[in-house]
Chain A
Amino acid sequence: MELNARIPSGPVEKKWENHRFEMKLVNPANKRKYDVIVVGTGLAGASAAATMGELGYNVHAFTHHESPRRAHSIAAQGGINAAKNYQNDGDSVYRLFYDTVKGGDFRSREANVYRLAEVSLNIIDQAVAQGVPFAREYGGKLANRSFGGAQVSRTFYARGQTGQQLLLGAYQALERQVRAGTVTMHTSKEMLDVVVIDGVAKGIVTRDLVTGVIERHAADAVVLATGGYSNVFFLSTNAQKCNVTATWRAHRRGAGFANPCFTQIHPTCIPPSGEYQSKLTLMSESLRNDGRIWVPKDPEDKRKGNDIPEDARDYYLERLYPSFGNLTPRDIASRRAKEMVDAGHGVGPMENGVFLDFKHAIERLGKDRVSERYGNLFEMYERITGEDPYDRPMRIFPAPHYTMGGLWVDYDLMTTVPGLFAAGEANFSDHGANRLGASALMQGLADGYFVVPLTIGNYLATVTPGSADTDHAAFADVEKDVKQRQSRLLDVDGTRSAASFHRELGRIMWENCGMVRTAEGLRSALQRIPELREEFWRDVRVPGTGEGLNPSLEQAGRVADFLEFAEVMCWDALTRDESCGAHYRPEHVTEEGEARRDDENFAHSAVWEFMGVGEEPRRHTEPLEFPNVPPSQRSYK
């Protein structure tokens, strides 16, 4: 597997500009001759499809939802970063770049991160022009809030529904192109495989979820914007249908998978309340701006939160990290919460949370200001727990939330399979070992609006348009594979639901490849996953047929892929014998208990090559260099 990142020459500030000049262009009149498939219609997919449609490409956009607007980007709450420096607090493109590289614990590619920070400015302009109703100050200018991992205020937001409003902006831009005829929208169609002809991506095979028909779609290039794989943990903040299928199928067809063990645990979620729990609900970490996190000092202190006096409380983040306090990066805030609960300080009926308290914020700002900032989050909390956070402290606990790992891509966001691109959370590119808050929306839209639509031209200019044909034997072979796999699922006719296997897999992954990973735990997971997978194929029960709508069949296919994918995640965590960012190996910690990187041996991205189901995958590396942000031990003290 060849890993050439194709990083443009020149100083980091000039790379994107130089590259835009050096890239090959497709003549405007020729663009419509090129078919481009975009899979996924979240922030990255919808913005990429809309923008490529505007440019004149013949775009086919696919979503497994009934409408592009249902993609899970819609659920992002807190905000989107941009280096606008509207607050005059010392922000700049360079500082956003610096914070992101540092926040990622020096496991991302500098050139990509710089570009991300650079185009962050354009994203806000674009969104405002589309009518995204960002929060504003009384003077009519855009408002900002601060977020974990940064000491400047650079986050733009639309109450607690920033993802919704940005996605609706991208969705509306997409529907505008549907009307203009440049984008053909394929809803309720799930991509089940990618078609590679002579080593080059030429199309996909989908299942129409309403009719059950398996279809072939050819194109000159394919963009995967299919999101992340947090649902490998079963319980996560992701929506129920989020899955790894598209990226895993691409991986099986030759696309390298980078850093799969880099998964982020979000510190401010509502703790589970029982076995039946189907998902965990995140509350924006913007809550940490004004809420204070604490636990009772004495593990035996079983009083209600409000009854515990100040001197019996441990505001542990403020104590351990005086300069960042409650705004330490997500991985640190999460791990410290787990430590507190593990040490017996957990609160709530199941003693599985820590307090997030707004009492002081309400005293300082008044209930109205607090409500204006966090009203919808408080409502959400009350609806789920039946407790009123204006009167008593919230209970929070970390939950899997975002995956930094993904398909390896070069500077142009092209995977190791020529013609196959990956954008947004589906790729691995920008966040290294840990993502900063409010940077996922930024990356999805950066990739979709401003990167892929340009860089895809650099590839298409080398391709004869219309060269892909669904009559090619490769399409028939892939279609046959897809159909056989579906029949196998339906034919097992065992006794257990796919969900029950998913729950069991999730438990294995959370225990062994979650917030803390030990070599011993990972080895045991690598033993148990193949056993569980074998049992799945022997005993799963998928009711109904392949014809027509069958949610059980859809779910079983996704669980089957998670059961294959989980192994490479554990291999990655095992072989990355260091701690960095969200990847925490207790064998490698500093005296202060923080992740200790090993730059001598692990300053690289690990890129995995598929060798067969159950076979040990092959590990490749892309070395990382940091000429601009010299690696240092992260310190948020």
Chain B
Amino acid sequence: MDLKLKVWRQSGPDEAGGFVAYDAKEISPDMSFLEMLDVVNERILEEGGDPIAFDHDCREGICGSCGMMIDGVPHGPKSMTTVCQLHMRSFRDGDQLTLEPWRASSFPVLKDLYVDRTPFDRIIAAGGYISVRTGSADEANAEPIRKKDADAAFDAAACIGCGACVAACPNASAMLFTSAKVAHLAHLPQGQTERYTRVLDMVETHDTEGFGNCTNHGACQNACPKGISVDYIAQLNRDLFRATVTTAADPVGS
């Protein structure tokens, strides 16, 4: 199949960018979307040009490195699928596709489709963990955890940190990302001790990193390749409310 691509090219964080048109010719429907871009890049290189930069690594939908807007949709048209797992059989011969980087001021463009998502690490560093020194853990089976709770924790922990939720959100909010970690740890008995400091600290960092507030559009959930639910944002808000109202009497934040 043959496709036409309109790709956002930007040589550096402080440079102006613009769209450039490319032909993607003789593409196999069994190729992944990134393999299609590999072929386009190989041709750009043969012609003496500068290949399109995009981040990627595992190509099996788990590392969270890849991601771009395809016709305004994060990770493209197939639901629950990262762009590396999207295959060309999802498109038709002759399609015209517009490729853009994640759109959020907290994720500055480094080059072309490549953005900086390090604010996510800082949100985790603010409290997205259980404080347990190596070697100080109890016997693993000492405390039973209901299967239901373990499964719920897992569902939230499936987030791959790709940033599609932020790119989809009209407010460029990272609440889905933040709430997934809050919910993961809040579902487990081990996560209770720091439950309320965690939510306060993570939300504070979320805000100082410049992400917008959640206004319940739900676009994040639709864009998420791992099916992370907006219910976690509701859970986060409940914990945040409780943490905030109890803080005055018994300060818990750090």
Contact = CB atoms under 8 A, between A and B. Distances in A.
A129 B126 contact: no
Given A75-B63, A179-B126, 4 more contacts: A131-B191, A139-B144, A178-B121, A450-B134
A487 to B, nearest CB: 18
15 contacts: A66-B116, A74-B62, A127-B140, A130-B132, A133-B188, A136-B144, A140-B150, A141-B141, A168-B157, A175-B121, A176-B131, A274-B31, A276-B31, A380-B60, A384-B87
Given A130-B130, A175-B128, A549 B111 contact: yes
A449 B141 CA distance: 20
- Please name the 10 residue pairs, one residue from A and one from B, whose CB atoms are nearest each other, closest first: A140-B144, A172-B129, A129-B137, A133-B154, A175-B125, A125-B137, A133-B153, A51-B134, A128-B140, A239-B58
Interface string B120-153: 1100111111111111111111001111001101
Contacts of A161: 62, 158
Interface string A225-263: 000000000000001110000000000000000000000
A68 interface: yes
A276 B35 contact: yes
Nearest to A209: B110
A129 B132 contact: yes
Nearest to A376: B158
Contacts of A450: 134-135
A72 B58 contact: yes
Contacts of A138: 147
B85 A383 contact: yes
Interface string A126-149: 111111011111111110000000
Interface stretch (B45-53, B166-174, B209-217, B231-239): B45-53
A633 interface: no
Most chain A beta-carbon neighbours within 10 Å: one of B64, B81, B185: B64
Given A126-B134, A126-B135, A161-B158, A86 B53 contact: no
**Which interface class (under 10, 10 to 19, 20 to 34, 35 or more) fits B?**
35 or more
A277 B117 contact: no
A274 B30 contact: yes
Contacts of A164: 62, 158, 160
Nearest to A126: B137
Given A67-B117, A175-B125, A380-B60, A131 B185 contact: yes
B114 A54 contact: no
A75 B51 CA distance: 27
A548 B118 contact: no
Contacts of A158: 154
Interface string A465-500: 000000000000000000000000000000101011
Interface of B is mostly: loop
B161 A125 contact: no
B59 interface: yes
Contacts of B59: 239-240, 278-279, 281
B57 A497 contact: no
B184 interface: yes
Interface of A: 47, 50-51, 54, 65-72, 74-75, 84, 86, 122, 124-131, 133-142, 158-159, 161, 164-165, 168, 171-173, 175-176, 178-179, 185, 187, 210, 239-241, 273-274, 276-279, 281-282, 380, 383-384, 386, 449-450, 453, 495, 497, 499-500, 541, 543-544, 548-549, 551-552
A125 B135 CA distance: 8
A384 B85 contact: yes
A389 B61 CA distance: 19
Contacts of B146: 136, 140
B85 A70 contact: no
A278 B39 CA distance: 10
Contacts of B61: 380, 383
Interface in B23-41: 28, 30-32, 34-35, 38-39
A336 B39 CA distance: 34
A54 B42 contact: no
Contacts of A543: 45, 48-51
Contacts of A74: 58, 62-64
Contacts of B30: 273-274, 386
Interface in B161-206: 161, 184-185, 188, 190-191
A85 to B, nearest CB: 11
A16 to B, nearest CB: 14
Contacts of A125: 137-140
Nearest to B191: A131
B111 A133 contact: no
Nearest to A183: B125
B227 to A, nearest CB: 11
B137 A122 contact: yes
B17 interface: no
A512 B77 CA distance: 42
B110 to A, nearest CB: 5
A179 B122 CA distance: 9
Nearest to B188: A131
Given A75-B60, A176-B129, A548-B111, A136 B150 contact: yes
A240 B35 CA distance: 12
A66 B34 CA distance: 19
A213 to B, nearest CB: 14
A191 B201 CA distance: 33
A437 B145 CA distance: 27
A126 B132 contact: yes
A236 to B, nearest CB: 11
B12 interface: yes
A383 B81 contact: yes
A142 to B, nearest CB: 6
A70 B160 CA distance: 9
A274 B145 contact: no
B65 interface: yes
Contacts of A185: 121
B110 A172 contact: no
B87 A383 contact: yes
B59 to A, nearest CB: 5
Contacts of A386: 30, 87, 89
B56 interface: yes
Nearest to A547: B12
Given A84-B140, A279-B59, A383-B85, A131 B121 contact: no
B241 to A, nearest CB: 23
A240 B84 CA distance: 12
